[in-house]
Amino acid sequence: MPSIGPRCHELRIQDETRTWRIVYRIDRDAIVILEVFAKTSQSTPKPTIELCKQRLRRYEEASKGKL
């Protein structure tokens, strides 16, 4: 999902009653789960995108020098 950041992706999982989305990023040494939510619309809601960006920034700040 380039709208969130590089190496970010979305996985969609269908269960019996709804579709779930997992937004994640693949790093050299980790898979960072940014958000898990039930799909209710075709596009990802803006507040969810902003939350993922915020979490990604915090992750990058916490892992500076470790990547």
Q: What pLDDT, in 10s, does the model give residues 13-58? A: 999 999 999 999 999 889 999 999 998 888 888 999 999 999 999 9
What is the reported pLDDT for 6? 92
- SS3 state at 59: helix
Any alpha helices (H) in the chain, and if so which ranges?
A: 46-62
pTM comes to 0.85
Q: Report strand pairing: 19-26 vs 31-38.
A: antiparallel
